[in-house]
């Protein structure tokens, strides 16, 4: 079956990236070790309405002369009057093999679980080419294009869909002042059955070298959802405490 061959090919590509990265990192001097940040936000209300909302984000990055590895995880949980009405988890892992100072090849995996959405889970495995369009002390802009495989499982019926997809990403980080940073990230994964789009924007203000406050907004959209009460578009607004490490 062609999708089995596709999955094997993509899995081999990512495995090759990982194995080569470990071998290369053992030989070369690391220019930067592990860096990362954690974000956490919590809201609790009582009285006429009792509600809770919790969200967190984690990001780890490691760079060496030839490689960059990025791992992210985030979760969102909300409830009202004791009834959970939102539960979502997302994991991403990506390895970049640098070709020049501005270009690289990448292999990426994304897993998305939305307990109240149309699909639970969505899984994608992609590979492609990326390029730094702007890389200065205050402004970093990069774009990626690639292709791969996606598996969707409908939450209500359990029906699954396998398809080839194209992947596009634009990531922009602008340091407005010494303490203020504005970031925007647009991810599009499109196939014949569905197009998934996720846009994140956030403004963070540093309190010191380790802590910052961040206001963020996220929009997620699936162009096709199963019949029922699932919405095509979800939004999320957050105010988080950020810890850099």
Distance CA 152, CA 70 (A): 24
Confidence of residue 155 (pLDDT cuts 50, 70, 90): confident
Residues linked to residue 46 through DSSP beta bridges, in sequence order? none
Whether the predicted pLDDT of 23 surpasses 50 = no
Contacts of residue 162, defined as CB under 8 A and 6 or more positions apart, other chains included, come to 3, 149, 150, 151
Could you identify the residue written with the tokens 């889970």?
A: 121
Q: Domains in the chain: how many in total?
A: 1
Closest CA to 124 of 110, 107, 145, 144: 110
Distance CA 107, CA 105 (A): 7
Could you identify the residue written with the tokens 């970031």?
A: 183
Kindly write down the DSSP assignment for every residue of 140-183, as one continuous string. Answer: EEEEEEEEEEEEEEETTT--EEEEEEEEEEEEEEEE-SSSEEEE
Question: Which domain CATH number covers 193?
Answer: 2.40.160.40
Tens of pLDDT, residue by residue over 56-70, are 999 999 999 899 999
CA contacts within 13 A on the Cβ side of 100: 7
Contacts of residue 61, defined as CB under 8 A and 6 or more positions apart, other chains included, come to 34, 35, 36, 68, 69, 70, 71
Confidence of residue 15 (pLDDT cuts 50, 70, 90): low
- For 150, the domain range is 2-244
Distance CA 121, CA 6 (A): 19
Alpha carbon distances (Å) from 235 to 142, 184, 215: 24, 15, 14
- pTM for this entry: 0.83
Contact between 229 and 235 under an 8 Å Cβ cutoff? The reply is: no
DSSP letter (8 states) at residue 76: E
Whether the predicted pLDDT of 242 surpasses 60 = yes
Tens of pLDDT, residue by residue over 164-182, are 999 999 999 999 999 999 9
Confidence of residue 105 (pLDDT cuts 50, 70, 90): very high
Confidence of residue 11 (pLDDT cuts 50, 70, 90): low
């Amino acid at each position: 079956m062609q999708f089995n061959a596709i999955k094997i090919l993509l899995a081999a590509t990512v495995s090759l990236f990982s194995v080569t990265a470990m071998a290369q990192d053992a030989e070369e001097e690391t220019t930067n070790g592990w860096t990362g940040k954690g974000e956490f936000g919590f809201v609790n209300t009582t009285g006429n309405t009792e509600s809770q909302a919790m969200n967190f984000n984690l990001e780890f990055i490691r760079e060496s002369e030839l490689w960059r590895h990025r791992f992210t995880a985030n979760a969102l949980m909300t409830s009202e009057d004791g009834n959970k009405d939102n539960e979502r988890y997302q994991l991403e892992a990506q390895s970049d093999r640098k070709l020049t100072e501005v270009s690289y090849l990448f292999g990426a995996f994304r897993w998305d679980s939305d307990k109240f959405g149309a699909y639970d889970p969505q899984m994608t495995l992609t590979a492609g080419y990326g390029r730094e369009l702007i890389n200065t002390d205050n402004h970093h802009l990069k774009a990626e294009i690639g292709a791969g495989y996606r598996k969707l499982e409908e939450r209500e019926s359990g029906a699954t869909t396998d398809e080839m997809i194209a992947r596009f990403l634009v990531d922009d980080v602008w340091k407005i002042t010494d303490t203020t940073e504005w970031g925007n990230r647009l991810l599009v994964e499109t196939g014949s059955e569905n197009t998934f789009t996720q846009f994140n924007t956030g403004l963070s203000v540093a309190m010191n070298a380790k802590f910052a406050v961040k206001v963020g907004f996220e929009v997620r959209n699936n162009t096709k959802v199963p019949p029922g009460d699932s919405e095509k578009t979800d939004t999320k607004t957050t105010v988080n405490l950020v810890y850099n490490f």
